[in-house]
């Protein structure tokens, strides 16, 4: 029998990994999404390097394999992601795209199901090369508006942007320390710096929330979180910092040095709305850890 709660939980963890690199994420399903990493949080120049890191983190943190497709548009990225499943990594470079598409069976094209594929075969179209030889007029005559999509895909053209349709539920930041610390004075100083950065982000995004979450990762890479909700919105340093210090009191770190400190502010009202069955895509939003 299906275990939807488990699937959703794992999906959230996977998307949390995605958000380490970009917030421009367009979910296709619980286990598939487009990521626009043209401008990414870590400043990594090659998308294939980001894909490798994401695959590695999914394996290390969740003990799962993932396939990644990398290209310059959504159509080709989707094709590439399906190319070497279940643990594949495929890049389609612009200069390779037309040759790659020419070899594709027509069934691999976006929106070509069994009925359309049968019609394509009746017209003598069985692969991308044969599809590319068809005129726009011919394709639209036989397939209507979607014929224009087939025409462009056969030429490696797909102008659709990655659309992140979501509600921001939290904003956060974290700091990985140059060395592990356990002295209270050092921890408080680092907590202050994280809180200052958090306030700057809240103000820049004009975000308001009532719940503060403290994230601590220790020297052995184990981690904990502590949260507290207030009636007043957490928008200023004089509200966030005392609350962060209060949360820190429940963390034992004198014999367990700290490697990373993070803070995030979330809006509990949106979390309640999600639990009541708001649109599924809302379950994919996470703290903006960097």
Six-digit token string for 109:
């094209």
Dist CA 139 CA 248 (whole Å): 64
Q: How many CB atoms lie within 10 A of CB 146?
A: 15
Q: How many CB atoms lie within 10 A of CB 217?
A: 17
Per residue of the chain (290 residues), give pLDDT as tens. 778 888 989 999 999 999 999 999 999 888 899 999 999 999 999 999 999 999 999 999 999 999 999 999 999 999 999 888 889 999 999 999 999 999 999 999 988 888 999 999 999 999 999 999 999 999 999 999 899 999 999 999 999 999 886 556 789 999 989 899 999 999 999 999 999 999 999 998 888 899 999 999 998 888 899 999 998 899 999 999 999 999 999 999 988 999 999 999 997 654 444 433 333 333 333 333 33
Map tokens 């429940």 to a residue.
Answer: 250
What local confidence, expressed as pLDDT, does residue 284 receive? 32
Cβ atoms of residues 58 and 17 within 8 Å: yes
What the chain holds in terms of domains, given with CATH numbers, is 4-91 (3.30.70.270), 94-153 (1.10.150.20), 170-284 (3.30.1490.100)
- Per-residue 3-state assignment (H helix, E strand, C coil) for the chain: CCCHHHHHHHHHHHHHHHCCCCCCEEEEECCEEEECCCCCCCCCCCHHHHHHHHHHHHHHHHCCCCCEEECCCHHHHHHHHHHCCCCCEEECCHHHHHHHHHHCEHHHCCCCCHHHHHHHHHCCCCEHHHHHCCCHHHHHHHHCCHHHHHHHHCCCCCCCCCCCCCCCCEEEEEEEEEEEECCHHHHHHHHHHHHHHHHHHHHHHCCCCCEEEEEEEECCCCEEEEEEECCCCCCCHHHHHHHHHHHHCCCCCCCCCEEEEEEEEECHHHHHHHHCCCCHHHHHCCCCCC
Dist CA 186 CA 85 (whole Å): 47
Read off the pTM: 0.56
Catalogue the active-site residues. 32
Q: Return all residues near 44 (Cβ < 8 A) that are at least 6 apart.
A: 21, 37, 50, 53
What local confidence, expressed as pLDDT, does residue 35 receive? 97
What local confidence, expressed as pLDDT, does residue 165 receive? 62
Six-digit token string for 38:
């043209």
Bond into 86 cis (ω within 30): yes
Judged by phi (left if over 0) then psi (alpha if -120 to 50, else beta), residue 24 lies in beta
Q: Is 180 exposed, middle or buried (0-12, 13-18, 19+ CB in 10 A)?
A: middle
């Amino acid at each position: 029998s299906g275990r939807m709660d488990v699937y959703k939980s794992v999906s959230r963890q996977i998307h949390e990994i995605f958000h380490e690199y970009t917030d421009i994420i367009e979910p296709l399903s619980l286990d598939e999404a487009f990521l626009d990493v043209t401008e990414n949080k870590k400043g990594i120049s090659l998308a294939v390097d980001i894909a490798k890191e994401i695959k590695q983190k999914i394996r290390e943190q969740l003990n799962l394999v993932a396939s990644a497709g990398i290209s310059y548009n959504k159509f080709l990225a989707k094709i590439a992601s399906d190319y070497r499943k279940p643990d594949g990594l495929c890049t389609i470079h612009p200069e390779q795209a037309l040759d790659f598409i020419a070899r594709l069976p027509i069934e691999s094209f976006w929106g070509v199901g069994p009925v359309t594929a049968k019609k394509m075969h009746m017209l003598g179209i069985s692969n991308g090369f044969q599809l590319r030889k068809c005129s726009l007029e011919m394709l639209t005559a036989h397939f209507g508006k979607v014929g224009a999509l087939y025409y462009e895909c056969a030429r490696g053209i797909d102008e659709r942007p990655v659309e992140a349709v979501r509600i921001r539920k939290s904003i956060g930041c974290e700091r990985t320390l140059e060395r592990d610390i356990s002295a209270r004075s050092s921890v408080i100083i680092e907590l202050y710096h994280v809180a200052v950065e958090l306030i700057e982000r809240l103000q820049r995004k004009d975000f308001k929330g009532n719940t503060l979450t403290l994230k601590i990762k220790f020297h052995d890479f184990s981690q904990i979180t502590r949260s507290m909700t207030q009636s007043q919105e957490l928008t200023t340093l004089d509200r966030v910092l005392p609350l962060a210090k209060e949360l820190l009191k429940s963390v034992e770190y004198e014999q367990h040095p700290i490697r990373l400190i993070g803070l995030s502010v979330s809006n509990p009202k949106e979390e309640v709305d999600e639990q009541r069955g708001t649109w599924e895509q809302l379950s994919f939003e996470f703290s903006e850890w960097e």
